[in-house]
Structure 1
Amino acid sequence: MTGRATVLIIDDEVRSLETLNRVLSEDFDVLMASNTQEAEKLLQSEMIHVILCDQRMPDETGVEFLSRVREAWPDPVRMIISGYSDSADIIAGVNDAGIYRYITKPWHPKELIEIVRGAHELLDLQKENETAALEMKLTTQTLKRQVSEKKTIAKKHFHFDRIVHGKGSALGETINLAKRCAEFDISVLITGESGTGKELLARAIHYGSSRADKPFVVENCGALPDELLESELFGCKKGAFTGAYQDRIGLFEVASGGTIFLDEIGETSPAFQVKLLRVLQEGEVRPLGAQKVRKVDVRVVAATNKNLEDEVEARRFRGDLYYRLSAFPIHIAPLRDRVMDVEPLTHHVLSDVAASFGKVVKGINAATMAAMKTYPWPGNVRELQNEIQRMVTLTDDAMLGTNVLSPKILRDYESNENALIGEVGLLKGQVEFLERQLITDALVRHRGNITRVADELGLSRVGLRKKLDRYDLKKVTWLEGGRHG
């Protein structure tokens, strides 16, 4: 649950107000109003989670007031408390004001506390379930089950073991490092180029921690101007700035008890960094336009593709915030430095993409894989994923061939001198390696056309086929859109 709930009580009888305050104040932050005008002022200035309103008041009924509240401040859970149980009032409350509960007097203190606690829990569950409409006909139990099911799936999907990498990859050591820090409540700073999988590692850290049953919330700090970013992270009151049409609970409060992932933290302004530092130091947020601060318990995992030490030296990033965020730094190497990851990543992504596109693609041939291993992947894993999606879209064959590779990857492969470098020992090994590479290159250039490859290499078709068998290159001739000849 997101901290301590703020409950607004509205009743024109002073004794009733005092009694409700006495019963609820031990478990909740209570605000009191003796009429609807006072209540509106509090709704304008404070973050209210639950409203308890008397039904019969001099100026207007509770249902009439909460119907207006529903339009202006739809987030708080609205409840009527009354000594009258007129069925017409109850029906109007449900239909017009979106009333969560209609509580009749006399009420029992313990039962009332549980009802208010349940209302706050409902609000939390709806936020986690990415819906702000209390009008939805979902019970607390239904929402609990949905959130629980999503978390179970997420734990399985974002486990450390699901991060694909090859044998001997630097990513293996990175994962081991992340596993060690996951169990401790420490801030983590993940660095690496765009597309290397920083968010995936952050999710694995969250779901490998004691906070796994609580929310994991993501914000891209480079995508919003300061005012909107503050509103997203810290919350705001209606009218706090142009465009603030309703109260908003900030992501720090939504993530309370769990983890917040601040991506592209290096893109934030110095002014915003001061405010973020205060949140991290004090463990509390002040929504824009609100008077009171809200306590939050959040683990922060931040990420950047910049060298923040250089940014600190250049005075573009606050040193005190950097040291607060980088208690445990983790670096993810670019894909060009992890060539052994290309093949397992390709097969993993291909399986997912083919299934989602509804196409039968069984694999990728040797020549195409050789070209993909040579390419430096400046966009890292994200670029590889995009390339495979493009290839699956274009192919009409069961095996992905070079005919569906992007021209830039083929050009890079054909011009890269490293394509002729391998682990060689004796002269015989060098000759065989070079011969195998020359045949592979020719097959790529001629799209598997055996006649043209044989002509270029000065071989007969029979001689070429023998060499294809010898070097296990026969699968290269599974045509990439060309003809065998």
Structure 2
Amino acid sequence: MSDTSANLLPSILIVDDEARSIETLERILDEYFDVHTASNAKEALDILEQEWIQVVLCDQRMPDVTGVELCGQIRETWPEVIRMIISGYTDSEDIINAINEGGIYQYISKPWHPEDVILKLKNAVELSELHRKNERLAIELKLHPKTLKEAIEVQRKALQSHYSWEGIVRSPDSIMNATCDTVKQVSPFDVSVLITGESGTGKELCSRALHYNSLRQNEPFVAENCGALPDELLESELFGHKKGAFTGAVEDRIGLFESANGGTIFLDEIGDISPAFQLKLLRVLQEKEVRPLGSNKRRPVDVRIVAATNKNLEDEVREGRFRQDLYYRLATFTIQLPPLRDRLEDIPYLTTFLLDEIMNELGKRVDGITTETMDCFQKYQWPGNVRELQNELKRMLVLTQTNKLEANTISPHILRATPDHMRKDMSLVTGNTNGTLKDRIEQLESRVLKETLVRHSWNKTRAAEELGLSRVGLRSKLERYGLEQADQDVVQLPSKKKISNSS
């Protein structure tokens, strides 16, 4: 069997003497796998000689040789191939023989469900890939143990550098400096930390900085979004489960608490978990042991807890929605991350770093962004914080047809953002004062003019047509409101040498 394959899909072999069965399986599996078929053992062995096959799915009852016997032959010659039996007979002796003689990974009973077969084959392919990776790693370890150890050490140091407090992107006078000083001070101490802040402010990045600068830095870091799962699935994810514990639990699974043993577990959106699950989590934190779903045995765990939420947990405690005892377990130390609207001075630095990452990701490069674009960025409030800035830069890079990101590619809602120096005056427009109708209309008209001109790259003819004005009328309004085209040169962003990470 060849050790290489140009196929993009995983290769599987179906062996069955019934043509209709082969046709049915091939039809449902063709979308997910590179399917080879054989009607008898000889054809199957010939295909294995010529093709790189990861998984064999074999019918048990065939006229010349049983599926178990064929799998036994495959096991001897190609032990790395994952072997599966499919049969309408569920005799326990058959199953035992299949496992013992053929080294069968799965025994599928007829009638089978298409989704079940697809899932089991995908799991078998993953197992095949894992075997190959482990074999390569074992070979590397035997041949070059020193080189491998050095490579692991280099990667570890790179992670430490990438997630250090110095690497959080900010300007020299950023309000984030105080936050980074707190992270630096807390990291070495093995205490639980609660990180608060709006979505998109970088809570997971902060948690990684805490881990990779702690005494647990050489141990695992795992993360889970607690707000995205119902209680049963969240319990399974965090604490693990035994086979058969619930519908779909086809095998034992180790939970994230055990996976992170010795290291750090990051529990994001902790404020969204139910009262019932709050109690289960509290017991784990108090007793430092987990009990997988469906198991009677408890397993000790040693992890550092870093939790995060965009809610005010003190308010949640007062309202009775969050357990006070769990809150104090989680919030030995609290770190508050400021929103991007409070750190607008960091936007040039963040833009430099994020744009460089996005250009590498998309394979498209520009020289930078215009001063007008940066001016718009620093007047916008960024309710989605750094994540929204990242998405906006990606969108602009896709849309731009020049060698710089110009303001005409900015999303309309950002273009319409109110400048800081106008924010107080804009209360006239929103009706929060007793300003005259004329004052309110003029402020609104100025914003509409500016947004339209920027969108049309200051082409006054197109802007006037859209607004139903003459060029003379438009020019008069621009003079009246003092609206002028901003400098279109590329803004001088901070050097990337000063920036090592995003926040």
- Normalised by the shorter chain, which TM-score bucket? 0.5 to 0.7
Q: What SS does the aligned partner of 1:183 have?
A: coil
**1:473 and 2:473 equivalent?**
no
Partner residue in 1 for 2:281: 276
Give the aligned partner of residue 361 of structure 1. Answer: 366
CA distance in 1, matches of 2:308, 2:133: 38
Over 3 Å counting, the alpha-carbon distance change for 1:447 and 1:272 in structure 2 is: same
2:254 is the alignment partner of 1:288: no
Q: Which residue of 2 aligns with 1:171?
A: 176
Distance in 2 of aligned mates of 1:337 and 1:348: 19
Offset at 1:162?
2.0
3-state SS of paired residue (2:417): helix
Q: State the SS of the aligned residue for 1:382.
A: helix
1:411 CA displacement: 1.2
> Which residue of the other structure, out of 376, 384, 387, is the alignment partner of 1:379?
384
Shift of 1:242: 1.6
Q: Are 1:447 and 2:457 matched, yes or no? A: yes
**Structure 1 residues 96, 328: CA separation in 2 closer, same or farther (over 3 Å shift)?**
same
Greater mean alpha carbon deviation, residues 391-400 or residues 445-454: 445-454
Secondary structure at 1:378 match in 2: coil
> In the aligned structure 1, how far is the partner of 2:127 from the partner of 2:302?
22
Q: Could you tell me how far 1:295 is from its partner in structure 2?
A: 0.9
Q: Map of 1:30-429 to 2, 5 A cutoff?
A: 96=103, 135-136=131-132, 138-139=134-135, 141=138, 150-413=155-418, 417-418=422-423
Number of equivalent positions: 338
Tell me, which stretches of 5 or more residues in structure 1 are unaligned?
1-62, 73-91, 99-129, 422-436, 478-485
The alignment-based identity, stated in percent, is 51
What SS does structure 1 have at the residue aligned with 2:228? coil
Aligned to 1:21: none
User: Contact (CA 8 Å) 2:408, 2:456: kept in 1 or not?
Assistant: no
Q: Which runs of 5+ in 2 are unaligned?
A: 1-70, 73-78, 85-98, 106-125, 142-147, 427-445, 465-470, 492-503
In structure 2, the CA distance between the partners of 1:397 and 1:318, relative to structure 1 (3 Å rule), is: same
Equivalent residues of 2:379, 2:419 under 8 A apart: no
Look up the SS of the partner of 2:306 in the other structure: strand
Q: Is the 8 A contact 1:221 1:267 kept in 2?
A: yes
Paired residues of 2:194 and 2:306 also in contact (CA < 8 A):
yes
Contact 2:380 2:419 survives alignment (8 Å):
no
1:402–1:420 Cα change, 3 Å: farther
User: How far apart are the structure 2 equivalents of 1:137 and 1:269?
Assistant: 40
Secondary structure at 1:222 match in 2: helix
> 1:379 corresponds to which letter in structure 2?
G
Q: 1:248–1:369: structure 2 CA closer, same or farther, 3 Å change rule?
A: same
How far did residue 359 of structure 1 move? 1.1
Q: Distance in 2 between matches of 1:201 and 1:71?
A: 45
Partners of 1:193 and 1:225 lie apart in 2 by: 22
Cα gap change, 1:413 to 1:362, in 2 (>3 Å): farther
* C-alpha deviation, 1:135, in angstroms: 3.4
CA distance in 1, matches of 2:193, 2:385: 22
Give deviations 1:31-89, integer Å, cap 9, x for gaps: xxxxxxxxxxxxxxxxxxxxxxxxxxxxxxxx99xx9xx999xxxxxxxxxxxxxxxxx
* Aligned-residue CA RMSD (Å): 3.9
What SS does the corresponding residue of 2:251 show, helix, strand or coil?
A: coil
| Alignment CA distance shift 1:131-1:384 (3 Å) | farther
Q: CA deviation at 1:153?
A: 3.7
Tell me by how many angstroms 1:157 deviates.
2.2
Cα 1:441–1:264 change in 2 (3 A) is closer
SS of 2:134's partner is: coil
Range with greater deviation from structure 2 (216-225 or 340-349): 340-349
Tell me: CA distance 1:320–1:441, structure 2 relative to 1, closer, same or farther (3 Å): same
- CA gap 1:237/1:408 in 2 versus in 1, 3 angstroms: same
- Please say if residues 236 and 250 of structure 1, whose CA atoms lie closer than 8 Å, have aligned partners that are also in contact: yes
The AA in structure 2 aligned to 1:235 is: G
Deviation at 1:362, TM superposition (A): 1.2
TM-score by length of 2: 0.60
Distance change in 2, residues 1:398/1:95 (3 Å): farther
For the 8 Å contact 2:409–2:455, the answer to whether it is kept is no
Deviations 1:436-460 (A, max 9, x none): x99998973652448999976679x
1:94 Cα deviation from its structure 2 partner: 11
CA contact (8 A) 1:368 1:402 kept: yes
TM-score under structure 1 length normalisation: 0.62
Q: CA-to-partner distance for each residue in 1:425-484, whole Å, 9 max, x for gaps?
A: xxxxxxxxxxxx99998973652448999976679xxxx9xx99xxx936279xxxxxxx
